[in-house]
Amino acid sequence: MRLLCETYPREAYSHVGVSFGPKKSKRRQDDRRRAAMPVENWAAKLGVYFTASACKQLRDGFGRAKSGEDPFDALMGLLSMIDVVEGSRCEGGASLSPEILKWEGWILGQSDPA
């Protein structure tokens, strides 16, 4: 059996307590660096532990380059998946028809459409 899942990084931010207010951007190291504390607080509540390297990168904001947003987004997506697996968040998609789920799927952890 193979499983593929997709997350929206922007939605994942809210799952782990990260927000970018006005004039803030995930493309800036300082703004990504400010996300470390909420992420670490979320992780502590769920019993998620980071390797020393991952913690260092998170606290550093994943470097100066704008491309630092890519590993940042990847981590946020992973943490959102952990949120679903641990039962802290619904997996989403429950109200979608079987045909849509078979061919279209849904975004893991996303609220069902209204």
- Which pTM value belongs to this model? 0.77
| Contact of 13 with 74, CB cutoff 8 Å | no
Mean pLDDT for the stretch of residues 74-93: 79
Predicted confidence at residue 76, as pLDDT, reads 93
Domain boundaries along the sequence of the chain: 9-103
Whether the predicted pLDDT of 93 surpasses 80: no
